[in-house]
Amino acid sequence: MPPHGASLRRGIAKSFALCAAGLALLSLSACNPPESPEGIQMKPGVQVLKRGNGAEPVTLDPHRAVSVPAMNILRDLFEGLVATAADGTSIPGAAARWETSIDGLQWRFELRRDARWSNGERVTAADFVAGLRRALDPATGSATAGLLAPILNARAIMTGRLPPDQLGVEAPDEYTVVVKLAAATPWLPELLSHPVSAPLYRPGYEKHGDDFAVPGRMVSNGPFHLSEWQPGQFVKLSANHNYPRRQDIAIDAVIYYPIENQDIELERFEAGELHWTADVPHHRLGWLERRRADELVITPRMAITWLGFNVTRPPFEAAPGLRRALAMAVDRDLIVRAVTGAGEMQAYGWVPPMDGYELQVPDWAELPRNEQVEQARGLYAAAGFSAEAPLELELLYPAGLNNRRLAIAVAAMWRDAFGVRTRLREEPFVEFLESRADTGTTMVFRSGWAADYADPYSFLGLFDSETGASDTGWRNVAYDELLQASLQALNPRRRLTLLAEAERLLLEDQPVVPLYFDVRRRLVRPEVRGWKPNPMDLHPSRHFYLAVAEQ
């Protein structure tokens, strides 16, 4: 029986904090390296890091890519004005330094004088202006351009009301980028480390257009360049010897392997083909804890796993009661104990626990489990469905054993509570992304969302009618107004209050079913050094090196 009232919110937040502390300790004890290679014998010869990377990237165009596997690769290929440290914090990237105006509406970035493209040409401020304009141009079709919405005129450009050259970004000289904001955005450095903020190599784009992001054509400015891509097999990155701080990087090449089946990925890790995995099979966690405890790394992650309803067509169009009935019928406690089992926290709200932000929990979540199901059945019946005329739906999910187990569990819960007939539809990740966005056919889909910066807006902005990319089709004018008001709020407490009100609207209308706040589970070989856990789960290859394996 779940705790009642405010105690439920405190319980989830406390559990999340304890889990984070415990998992961080597990990660540190398993493979946290020293700060430098001093005293550690590095593996001689060419250092090739082999990373399991989940799904095949749809594209490696930094302004059009959307998936986590693609972003992992792009953070190695490109360097924004700001870069990401091993612990996930923001550090100088292509910009050596920056300063802000007193009101926080203007940021001035000074580029490194030695910044170079992988072909040796100089990286200039105009390259960053061109990249940001392209990202926001509706013709680009960027799914992540909404991250740049705080920049002056960005929203009007995304919606076609202004041309890209009206974006509030300027290059007064070759080494200075000035960014003007519509409202103060303290997390701008995190946004400018995201691949969507990458500079654009203009000669390559002018010659190849949108087809520039392939080996032999791509020119990048990060520590590595794209040397080979065999779809379905691997993506190989080689050292960019024109990167100005290349001498500080030990890794000579990185090979990313797209492996969607976690059992196969585990087999390849055990065969010595991978230095780390993207995930582990949930059903093998107990065995891994007993047999590979020194390589199993479980770290807290600022992310949520959820189900999305297509609210643009029946049966979920204008049917918040039916959507809530299905949300209430999901036994989250059973999912995190028996389906995932790696320390995930059951989620009833959308935003995970964050300092200063009140965790939002719907009233029904405070009821005993049997009362939740009873109320859900009443909503289900009120929507016009019954045992004689059951709801029939299709649940779409990306390929992978873990995703399949979750889909089967949810379908069983809906069957047991209502008699719902659920067809399961599994697709490779690339096809899944296309199907999920097809509001003409999709009914319910499994998805995940990871924060791009540590703020509630990183989660709530997904449902912004202009800049969001939830693929649910949900729009709510009052919700949009609350988000905009939060961006203009000068008082931090008032800002968080507005965001909490927006989240309550989201949960009331229920276009999504929050399932659990995620953790990252992976295997990492002890010889991989430089690893540091961080809640964004960002691990650029530049921070690693391979040590001689201990005997």
What are the tens digits of pLDDT across the range 453-476? 889 999 999 999 988 789 999 999
Q: Average pLDDT of 524-538?
A: 92
Residue 419: how many other CB atoms lie within 10 Å: 15
pLDDT greater than 70 at residue 11: no
SS3 state of residue 15: helix
CATH topology of domain 48-253+524-545: Dipeptide-binding Protein; domain 1 (3.90.76)
pLDDT greater than 50 at residue 70: yes
**What are the sequence ranges of the domains in the chain?**
6-20+300-520, 48-253+524-545
User: Between vectors from CA 364 to CA 359 and to CA 365, what angle results, nearest 5°?
Assistant: 50
Q: Average pLDDT of 128-140?
A: 97
pLDDT greater than 90 at residue 41: no
Domain 6-20+300-520 matches domain 48-253+524-545 at the CATH topology level: no
Residues 269-282: tens digit of each pLDDT: 999 999 999 999 99
Task: Give the Cα separation of 20 and 299 in Å (integer).
Answer: 7
Residue 294: how many other CB atoms lie within 10 Å: 13
Nearest to 516 by CA among 20, 88, 12: 12
pLDDT greater than 50 at residue 167: yes
Residue 453 or residue 306, greater confidence:
306
What is the torsion angle, in degrees rounded to the nearest 10, for the CA atoms of residue 176, residue 179, residue 185 and residue 189? -40
pLDDT at position 100 is 97
Handedness of CA 120, 126, 132, 134 (dihedral sign): negative
DSSP per-residue codes, 196-212? GG----HHHHHHHGGG-
pLDDT greater than 70 at residue 31: no
Residues 410-423: tens digit of each pLDDT: 999 999 999 999 99
Write the DSSP symbol of residue 366.
G
User: Between vectors from CA 139 to CA 138 and to CA 142, what angle results, nearest 5°?
Assistant: 60
Is the pTM of the predicted complex or chain greater than 0.85? yes
Q: What is the average pLDDT score of the chain?
A: 91
Task: Give the Cα separation of 417 and 461 in Å (integer).
Answer: 32
Q: Which two tokens stand for residue 183?
A: 């409202």
User: Between vectors from CA 363 to CA 358 and to CA 368, what angle results, nearest 5°?
Assistant: 120
Q: Average pLDDT of 167-191?
A: 96
Work out the pLDDT band at 28, boundaries 50, 70, 90: very low
Q: Does domain 6-20+300-520 have CATH number 3.40.605.10?
A: no
Task: Give the Cα separation of 114 and 104 in Å (integer).
Answer: 28
* Residue found under tokens 């054993």: 401
